[in-house]
Structure 1
Amino acid sequence: MVSRKKKPTNSDPAHDVLGYDRQQLDAIFKPENVAVIGATERPGSVGRTIMWNLVSNPFGGTVFPVNPKRPNVLGIKTYPSIGEVPAEVDLAIVVSPAPSVPGIIRECVEAGVLGAIIISAGFKETGEEGARLEEETLREARKGRMRIIGPNCLGVMNPLGGLNATFAGSMARPGNVAFLSQSGALLTAILDRSFQENVGFSNIVSVGSMMDVDWGDLIYYLGDDPKTHAIVVYMESIGDPSSFLSAAREVALTKPIIVIKPGRTEAASEAAASHTGALTGSDEVLDAAFRRSGVLRVDTISELFNMAEVLGKQPRPKGPRLTVVTNAGGPGVLATDALITGGGELTEISPEAMEELNAILPGPWSHGNPIDILGDADPERYAKTLEKAAEDENSDGLLVILTPQDMTDPTETANALVPYARSTKKPVLASWMGGQEVAGGVSILNGAGIPTFDYPDTAAQAFNNMWRYTYNLRGIYETPELAEDEAVDRERAREVIEAARESGRTLLTEYESKELLAAYGIPTVETRVATTEDEAVRAAEEIGYPVVLKIHSETITHKTDVGGVRLNLPDEAAVREAFSTMKSRVTSEFAESDFLGVTVQPMEKLDGYETILGSSMDPQFGPVLLFGSGGSLVEVYRDRALALPPLTTTLARRMMERTRIYEAFAGVRGRGPVDRKELARLLVRFSQLVVEQPWVAELDINPLLISEDRFLALDARVVIHDPETPEQQLPKPAIRPYPNQYVTKGETNEGEEFTVRPIRPEDEPLMVKFHESLSEQSVYMRYFHMMRLDQRTAHERLTRICFIDYDREMALVAERVNPETGEREIMGVGRLSRHGFVPGEAEFSVLIADPFQRKGLGTLLLERLLEVGRAEGLSRITAEILMDNRPMQKISRNCGFTLHRDLEEMVVKAELDLRQPQAV
């Protein structure tokens, strides 16, 4: 009982991303007819330059100038308005003054135009009135299905298709790299330079202020473009973080995305914000966001295009170990310094490889890495060394360095390396140092797909970028362990926060903070509240001396600043004295109502590592997590790592690995090793707290005591948002958390109970077993063709199925506990995938394991999908079903779908308008 989605042009049919045969953005990148609104003959004007670029670069369509004041432009008949153009127009290029643009877009929508590029400036970058114009323009576009690039942009180029819809001076060379830029001036400079460097592009986009089409839209579109092999981005502001992260995370798995983002310094950040009219957040947080989405960030323009070439031509290294082959010692040392400084490692040559190298190299060779094969190395020695080095299982990549010496033949050496470089699955980079003498060898290597660098340190830096890119992607898509959340009491957490809100507070007491942590299974030190001296003494005696007293207050944030923490109190007298002193100091410096008593805790032995675990708000990305060395000198040591929530166990481990204290967790100076797997699960639960409790603004556990036998939150501070804040205005995580609201119960028509819940990355092993239960007929009905089991269960494929962002796709699984084995198993999967470029529309698919078919499960999953669709604000859901798949057709009809036979494609098309009232 299955239905399937239409296979996209450049995608595995199992990926479930549906687009139309002609996507909306095709109207911009591949138009058949183009109108230039504001076209003119005036020399030097933008309107004239765009007209000339369009007509002098044949894109296969017709150009219609629109100008009510001229009979023709460049000898081409003009039309007074877009509505009078005598053909369907795909793309309108608008160069009219900003105040006229909303009306122009209204006319375009009425004329059925699907795409627009607004070149005009004068929008939000100019202030409040410009922002209002932008909002009005977008409202008009939304009345139809128009998508807009700009305003305040240079335009769009598709060199492969012959489209130059820009006012740049020249058409770019065709190539396979897409370049997106938020700076028109930088774009033109790079375009000019590209002719000297012989660099080509598949598409060039000046994004402007991203009124409508943003980074996410463009990355998705170019990700589906088979002619684009890599995407490079010059970014000044990230725009909608969720859109960018969602698209980048998905596309980076198959195509490298390299970004240069200025603003690492405070001064640069301010300049960028002023230039784009957008807010910028912490640069450290931006780095964390790029890591989380698999984007490679570089620091220079040359790196931007170098890495696009390297990642496009060479396999990705599995790790950071580089083998350097050189005919001179100095360049090898330079490469080593750059490699180690950048976080890479030199390969430790294996005994087997060492033996083979000794057999082919002269006695004085370096006998280590870098492998110095001496200045008289001929092409054969280079080739044999590369062959043996590539076979070394310890090596993740190779760098071959050549310096021109009297005995060196750069050209023949390059020829000798080509076949060996192609035979290995490891990346091979080269540095042919010199000028004209090595030019022939450089040309041969580049032609063979071996990136060649002028200097060895630049090559080593490129390798570091390569393995880091691979490392980040692996962290995103590595199947995590399941962090069971039976201990999580979300209702109790909400009660704690609600009590503070109802009293008008933004600060939780320490006792409340620890109650909140405990609700998410985070171990806290025993804490009791005492409002009088006698109560404090009684609590201390029950806990056992020595004890710790801390001020219990709803208003005092940092207790140590007012002497509000007393440690190691040995007896009743000490407890009474501490209580009295604290009360006296607080009531003298603050109001009497600021002192509510004390908390009493056992004096824990600090026999572990003091760490900090916290969360704070970033203006762009919402909640951000921090982990690192803690204690009173946390600001001094600054040993910390940032990450965006929510975490998986894999991402939690990666976060910890970026700190120096993590190395100590293996056990040092007589201390046993920390249970790092359990610590990762604790971080996962902490991240759940942060994203599931949106009223939490700041949360610090400092110190979180970590030792070989326990984890313990000794102190906690929680700040919540102003209780008067409307809930819809609370900051949202940049990455959508697991949607617990869609977890429901169900039962088959035979009474067997199961759980319906959104899919999660940890489900990959269960999905393997699920596919093992499918018959050939079920597979054919779902995918419209046969697919082998090993194809369906490949990790690369299942990552696309299980690792979803819950915005673009929502997948529900029906899960039960097998009564015979006691193990969890997936009975069926239902999926909603949004149409990539059509807001509010999605397609559904349902696949039921053979043992559970004809038990009502398909109907229930489809009904749940429709409930999710309504909750997510979808307006229309569709599907394509094989004509032979009558059970799925019946289910769809019973759920309210209208069915239409498509005899040309031999499918039944199902469609449901969710805006129509539900049948009662």
Structure 2
Amino acid sequence: MSETLVSAYRRHPLDAIFAPKTVAVIGATEKEGAVGRTILWNLISHPFGGTVFPVNPNRSSVLGIHAYPKIADVPAQVDLAVIVTPALTVPGIIEECVEAGVKGAIIISAGFKEIGKAGAQLEQKILRRAQSAKMRIIGPNCLGVMSPVTGLNATFARGMARPGNVAFISQSGALCTSVLDWSFRENVGFSHFVSIGSMLDVDWGDLIYYLGDDSRTKSIVLYMETIGDARSFLSAAREVSLSKPIIVIKAGRTAAAAKAAASHTGSLAGSDAVLDAAFRRCGVLRVDYLSHLFAMAEVLDKQPHPRGRKLTIVTNAGGPGVLATDALIQGGGELAELSDETMAALNEALPRHWSHGNPIDILGDATPERYTEAVKIAADDPNSDGLLVILTPQDMTYPTQTAEQMSRVLANTRKPVLASWMGGPEVAAGVDVLNRANIPTFDYPDTACHIFNYMWRYTYNLRSIYETPSLPIASEAEATNQRRATELIEEVRKKGRTILTEYESKQIFQAYGIPTVPTLLAHSPDEAVARAEEIGYPVVLKLNSETITHKSDVNGVQLNLTNADEVRQAYERIRQTVTERKGAEHFQGVTVQPMEKLDGYELIIGSSQDSQFGPVLLFGTGGTLVEVFQDRALGLPPLNTTLARRMMEQTKIFQALQGVRGRGRVDLEALERLLVRFSQLVVEQPRIREIDINPLFASPERLVALDARIVLHDPDLPDEELPRPAIRPYPVQYTWHWQLPDGSQVEIRPIRPEDEPLMVEFTQGLSPDSLYLRYFHAVSVSSLIAHEQLARLCFVDYDREMALVAVRTNPESGKPEILAHGQLTKLHGTNDAEFSIQVRDDFQGTGLGTELLSRLLEIGRHEKLERVVAEILPENTGMRRVCTKLGFKLQTNPETHTVQAEIHL
């Protein structure tokens, strides 16, 4: 091998675009105002440490630099080709680049899918050839790429962005130039400045992963028009958002949504609301205004994240405090209630006529010392999650001195501090003082409150993702009968039907442990009477139809029937109405159900398909007026109990479910579990297109599905074309049973978030030597069992990484315990993966490590990985022996003094 394995598998393919050593500009020209001239000039006038080659078959030189007729004539290996020729020529140029070994390209040219079918065909031709050679492409139809920190400017923008720590990616080239102009005025710097274009190849996920690995990038800011590959975006954002803020503004919020499905759920789940749910699920912060985009990047970089939504406001004028309060509360935030200790301290420090509440109005004659004392007391209040300090310039105000003293006293606070120094030149020096102290300032206090509301929502979303659920998924799996539900759906599909009757739908729910009201079928008036007497009066009759989904459209529900005559009459009314309005063939009898005494709440739980994200879940206020109230929350499956609770918390009905006006509290934990099982149903039964329970009756005594509706995809739709969840569900197929030498049974399965307590015990049982061999340096157990650290191990994105645990039941305690942990992680930008294995000391040498690694390799083959690699310390003879046994090639790296293991799958 010409280079060590470690450098080979650590190199990122996008380095060819963002850190090239050689760049060819294909279409370079000297024509004034031409894109090819501007790009070449930007590259040579901003040194990036590499060489630039103009390519133009009609000129011997461009801008005084020797030009070459085609890429094959360039006398060096080209890393990056910037293409600015007409669209029809680009497929041929990409072919030439592939043959010349070019690994990265930026296609500036327009005229592709944005012009219609012919342009889309050109794109596919380009993509097929590039993928065959593992060439990565940004564009087409883009402005280009800047890396201001290194000096690379492969764009046709006027000027070079200032270096900084914010990465900006935009689908709009025009917006890029506007933001660039704005950044010069506001002195904002960038680590990367990327116009992504129409995302033929490199997409949001690729760039988020790349920037997540970049040490110079502290936050990632996106201007998005389309999301592209939803799973790629969510997978990357969910991983990177744990360490770097990702802030997005999405155009098209008020555009007409795609046609809603013919269900309550579909009509409520507009595409923009689904996008909001997706952003929440992966920890991305969505802002509403372009002006907020970079403000949030600054604030999240400079300030700690708030624990909650309660803000304390300190002001020297009542009006601005009131405006701030309005903005805070309208955005979902709350005023912190001042503690008794805080009130006492403020009474002692402030004049008698201060506001005696929050906002803390310290009066117009406030001195720097009064401000300083007030903000110090307010910042120490345990009820407060953040602080906003407002200053209005009055005759006796000293804005600069106040800023200086306040900055010193708040230097070590662990709560976010925002400031609004209102005014112009009079407060400018104070604003500079605050900014130098990393206290973000805003012209207006309501803007500051908008920013604080974004901050606590960002914290809330991240906490939702990585908060350990209370209930193991296995507990819910035991309560389900997936096979029975699948068989029922296949029976309906074989008949060429797409609509399940209510009776069939309720059988599906019962298979997943979702309680339903007793429901009996009747195909004649006499049979209906017999069923009613079997159940007991009063009863409800409902239409049973294989084609009609909304029974209310045909008066298909008859309530509160108290005797046999009423049942017969109700049966005939339903039959007659259906026959007259739809036809006799749409009537397949009725269902008979008990007339429930409804002293509780009507909820709706449903799922419909989104064109980008696949199945989407809905929870909210149900009943016949569900579309009117519009009280609902959306989420992406699969759910755990934490995510189910977060969906519930977003609705207005949630407050009532906790008990109001003398009513008891609904069993929210049971409702969480029901939502988890419902999401499991949606994930495990991909043939379902639409499904809802409306109403789901909820009272302190019980939860029960009163009505059920399921619609399937077209029976002829192949399995591989069924929509898939945007978030990969738990891969139950990667579960095996294995026997230790002593005969005890071990289950090897993918890790779950609920395994965090078991991982704590596992880690605490490892010796210092085992930890050293795993992490290559001495590491404390306390750092490894911190929630933030374990979240990275237990909250696995199964689409990008697969972590297995070997679990057995402890023979003495009868409780589960983890004996080994193994992980297979895709290397960003490649189809390779890196593995790691850790076996508890007392089970080393039992063959468990070999078994775990062999299972990881089996998964790698099934997931179509090309290669698996690892770094091993030379003294780790056990792992070296296991790798050799399983066919890995081992090679010593003299630079790192480690052993590199590699196997091609």
Give me the TM-score of the superposition, normalised by structure 1. 0.95
Aligned to 2:845: 854
Q: Does structure 2 conserve the Cα–Cα contact (< 8 Å) formed by 1:176 and 1:228? A: yes
Which residue, out of 748, 757, 781, partners 1:765?
757
Q: Does 1:706 align with 2:698?
A: yes
Q: Does 1:562 align with 2:557?
A: no
Aligned to 2:875: 884
Q: Give a deviation string over 1:169-194, Cα, whole Å, max 9, x none.
A: 11011111111111111110111111
CA distance in structure 2 between the partners assigned to 1:612 and 1:700 by the alignment: 7
Which residue, out of 278, 286, 289, partners 2:275?
286
1:858 is aligned with what amino acid?
Answer: G
Aligned to 2:149: 160
Aligned to 1:653: 645
Which residue, out of 855, 862, 870, partners 1:871?
862
Cα deviation for residue 7 of structure 1 reads: 14
Aligned to 1:79: 68
Which residue, out of 343, 346, 367, partners 2:332?
343
Aligned to 1:44: 33
CA distance in structure 2 between the partners assigned to 1:80 and 1:268 by the alignment: 49
2:424 is aligned with what amino acid?
Answer: G
1:507 is aligned with what amino acid?
Answer: I
Aligned to 2:210: 221
- Consecutive unaligned residues of structure 2, counting only runs of 5 or more, are 260-268
SS of 1:846's equivalent in the other structure is: strand
Q: Does 1:136 align with 2:121?
A: no
Which residue, out of 882, 890, 893, partners 2:884?
893
Q: Does structure 2 conserve the Cα–Cα contact (< 8 Å) formed by 1:19 and 1:837? A: no
In structure 2, the CA distance between the partners of 1:19 and 1:806, relative to structure 1 (3 Å rule), is farther
1:350-369 matched pairs, under 5 angstroms: 350-369=339-358
2:772 is aligned with what amino acid?
Answer: Y
Aligned to 2:707: 715
SS of 1:185's equivalent in the other structure is: helix
Cα deviation for residue 823 of structure 1 reads: 1.4
Cα deviation for residue 377 of structure 1 reads: 0.9
Q: Does 1:806 align with 2:835?
A: no
1:306-705 matched pairs, under 5 angstroms: 306-483=295-472, 484-485=475-476, 486-705=478-697
Q: Does structure 2 conserve the Cα–Cα contact (< 8 Å) formed by 1:750 and 1:855? A: no
- Give the aligned CA root-mean-square deviation in angstroms: 1.7
CA distance in structure 2 between the partners assigned to 1:860 and 1:230 by the alignment: 40
Which residue, out of 783, 787, 792, partners 1:795?
787
Aligned to 2:161: 172
SS of 1:807's equivalent in the other structure is: coil
Cα deviation for residue 269 of structure 1 reads: 9.3
CA distance in structure 2 between the partners assigned to 1:867 and 1:569 by the alignment: 60
CA distance in structure 1 between the partners assigned to 2:312 and 2:392 by the alignment: 17
1:54-73 matched pairs, under 5 angstroms: 54-73=43-62
Cα deviation for residue 113 of structure 1 reads: 1.7
Cα deviation for residue 581 of structure 1 reads: 3.1
SS of 2:733's equivalent in the other structure is: helix
CA distance in structure 2 between the partners assigned to 1:586 and 1:345 by the alignment: 53
In structure 2, the CA distance between the partners of 1:744 and 1:531, relative to structure 1 (3 Å rule), is farther
Aligned to 1:732: 724
Q: Does structure 2 conserve the Cα–Cα contact (< 8 Å) formed by 1:19 and 1:835? A: no
SS of 1:828's equivalent in the other structure is: strand
Cα deviation for residue 530 of structure 1 reads: 2.1
Cα deviation for residue 669 of structure 1 reads: 2.7
Q: Does structure 2 conserve the Cα–Cα contact (< 8 Å) formed by 1:123 and 1:129? A: yes
- Consecutive unaligned residues of structure 1, counting only runs of 5 or more, are 1-5, 9-17, 271-279, 915-920
CA distance in structure 2 between the partners assigned to 1:437 and 1:29 by the alignment: 44
Q: Does structure 1 conserve the Cα–Cα contact (< 8 Å) formed by 2:468 and 2:756? A: yes
Q: Does structure 1 conserve the Cα–Cα contact (< 8 Å) formed by 2:805 and 2:818? A: yes
Which segment drifts farther, 309-318 or 593-602?
Answer: 593-602
Which residue, out of 754, 776, 779, partners 2:768?
776
CA distance in structure 2 between the partners assigned to 1:19 and 1:818 by the alignment: 43
Q: Does 1:911 align with 2:889?
A: no
1:518 is aligned with what amino acid?
Answer: Q
CA distance in structure 1 between the partners assigned to 2:499 and 2:257 by the alignment: 35
Q: Does structure 2 conserve the Cα–Cα contact (< 8 Å) formed by 1:262 and 1:269? A: no
Aligned to 2:20: 31
Q: Does structure 2 conserve the Cα–Cα contact (< 8 Å) formed by 1:262 and 1:268? A: no
Q: Give a deviation string over 1:247-293, Cα, whole Å, max 9, x none.
A: 111111221111111111126999xxxxxxxxx97111111111111
Which residue, out of 161, 183, 193, partners 2:182?
193
Tell me the matched-pair count. 890
2:143 is aligned with what amino acid?
Answer: L
Cα deviation for residue 20 of structure 1 reads: 4.1
Give me the TM-score of the superposition, normalised by structure 2. 0.96
SS of 2:397's equivalent in the other structure is: coil
SS of 1:740's equivalent in the other structure is: coil
CA distance in structure 1 between the partners assigned to 2:606 and 2:600 by the alignment: 19
1:512 is aligned with what amino acid?
Answer: E
Q: Does structure 2 conserve the Cα–Cα contact (< 8 Å) formed by 1:19 and 1:836? A: no
Aligned to 2:893: 902
In structure 2, the CA distance between the partners of 1:535 and 1:294, relative to structure 1 (3 Å rule), is same
CA distance in structure 2 between the partners assigned to 1:143 and 1:665 by the alignment: 56
Which residue, out of 830, 833, 837, partners 2:829?
837
Which segment drifts farther, 902-911 or 863-872?
Answer: 902-911
2:633 is aligned with what amino acid?
Answer: A
1:641 is aligned with what amino acid?
Answer: A
CA distance in structure 1 between the partners assigned to 2:883 and 2:381 by the alignment: 57
1:446 is aligned with what amino acid?
Answer: N
Cα deviation for residue 506 of structure 1 reads: 0.3
CA distance in structure 2 between the partners assigned to 1:748 and 1:96 by the alignment: 64
CA distance in structure 2 between the partners assigned to 1:590 and 1:358 by the alignment: 75
Aligned to 1:3: none
CA distance in structure 1 between the partners assigned to 2:769 and 2:239 by the alignment: 30
Cα deviation for residue 395 of structure 1 reads: 0.6
Q: Does structure 1 conserve the Cα–Cα contact (< 8 Å) formed by 2:257 and 2:270? A: no
SS of 2:419's equivalent in the other structure is: strand
SS of 2:553's equivalent in the other structure is: helix
Aligned to 1:917: none
In structure 2, the CA distance between the partners of 1:269 and 1:158, relative to structure 1 (3 Å rule), is farther
Cα deviation for residue 863 of structure 1 reads: 1.7
Q: Does structure 1 conserve the Cα–Cα contact (< 8 Å) formed by 2:144 and 2:155? A: yes
CA distance in structure 2 between the partners assigned to 1:20 and 1:458 by the alignment: 46
Q: Does structure 1 conserve the Cα–Cα contact (< 8 Å) formed by 2:545 and 2:589? A: yes
CA distance in structure 2 between the partners assigned to 1:590 and 1:257 by the alignment: 52
CA distance in structure 2 between the partners assigned to 1:163 and 1:788 by the alignment: 41
Cα deviation for residue 447 of structure 1 reads: 0.9
CA distance in structure 2 between the partners assigned to 1:585 and 1:325 by the alignment: 67
Relative contact order, higher structure (CA 8 A, sep 6+):
1
Q: Give a deviation string over 1:179-230, Cα, whole Å, max 9, x none.
A: 1111111110111111111111111000000111111111111111111111
CA distance in structure 2 between the partners assigned to 1:711 and 1:269 by the alignment: 33
1:889 is aligned with what amino acid?
Answer: R
Q: Does structure 2 conserve the Cα–Cα contact (< 8 Å) formed by 1:773 and 1:851? A: no
Which segment drifts farther, 228-237 or 840-849?
Answer: 840-849
SS of 2:791's equivalent in the other structure is: helix
Cα deviation for residue 118 of structure 1 reads: 0.8
Cα deviation for residue 526 of structure 1 reads: 1.1
Q: Give a deviation string over 1:451-477, Cα, whole Å, max 9, x none.
A: 011111111111111111111111111
Cα deviation for residue 889 of structure 1 reads: 2.0
